[in-house]
Amino acid sequence: MPSTKKSLYFLSSALVTAISVGVLGYGMSTEWATTTMKCARKELGIFNGTAVITLKLFDGVLKRFSCPTFDNTDAFQVIPMLKKIGGSSVVLHGLVVCLLALCLLFSAVSILICLYNSVSNPYQTYMGPIGIYTCSSLSACLSVVVLIIFVVNVNVTIVAEDLIKNFSGNIAMDLKDQASEMLVGYYLVIPYMVLSLCAIALIYVYDHAAYTHRREQERPTEDAPKEIMMY
């Protein structure tokens, strides 16, 4: 059986990781970004309309105010709509969803390893601290990649413009002044990343203390007087 100290450290790491999973799970279910654009009918050239797109990972809402004619609100499924539009946006968005799923998977594996170590004493293999370092590090790194890819997809690609034109039918229109804002779902990836690193830190503190203790036990004669060591 492991010591009480070891059990507490690994259970604490499992708890922190479980909290991070809850944070990310909630973040994946809420809004990630909103984009606003001014619009005008091509033949008029007067930008008196506005379109606002609110994106979750799987659902979206487009609200149009005099863009190009009457006010309308349209709900849509993000991935099917991006497939219909085509281009790189669907690839980037699909990559974001896949990476988040991998983050949850690695976090789940990290929790299982922590629970296993809290009730047993495995060797220094992937079932010990090494496994937790690997899984939690991958979760933190992939979450950073998600933050970068999502921002690029929203701000660099023309996904917002394509969505607005798709719902406007055959009416020719001009769009300008795109302004995007990241929302709570996006920012919750950051505490998830921080908590994953905290889970690593807890195990590192224990592992370092255990390593130091082992080294002290392996060299009991280093502090003995030289006269005694001669015999």
User: What is the 8-class DSSP label of residue 95?
Assistant: H
- What domains can you pick out in the chain, each with its CATH number? 4-211 (1.20.140)
Residue type, 11: L
How sure is the predictor about 95, in pLDDT bands with cuts at 50, 70 and 90?
very high
Q: Cα–Cα distance between 139 and 106 in angstroms, integer?
A: 6
Q: Cα–Cα distance between 6 and 118 in angstroms, integer?
A: 7
For the sheet containing 59-65, what is the strand order? 72-77, 59-65, 49-55, 33-41, 173-182
Q: What tokens appear for 126 in the block?
A: 């992937």
- Is the pLDDT score of 23 beyond 60? yes
Q: Give residue-wise pLDDT tens across range 31-90.
A: 999 999 888 776 666 777 888 999 999 999 998 887 766 778 889 999 999 998 888 889
Any long-range contacts for 93-99 (C-beta under 8 Å, 24+ apart)? Answer: 93/57, 93/153, 95/149, 96/57, 96/146, 96/149, 96/150, 96/153, 97/57, 97/58, 99/142, 99/143, 99/145, 99/146, 99/149
pTM: 0.85
Q: Give residue-wise pLDDT tens across range 114-171.
A: 999 988 888 777 888 899 999 999 999 999 999 999 999 998 888 888 888 887 766 6
Average pLDDT over every residue of 169-175 = 72
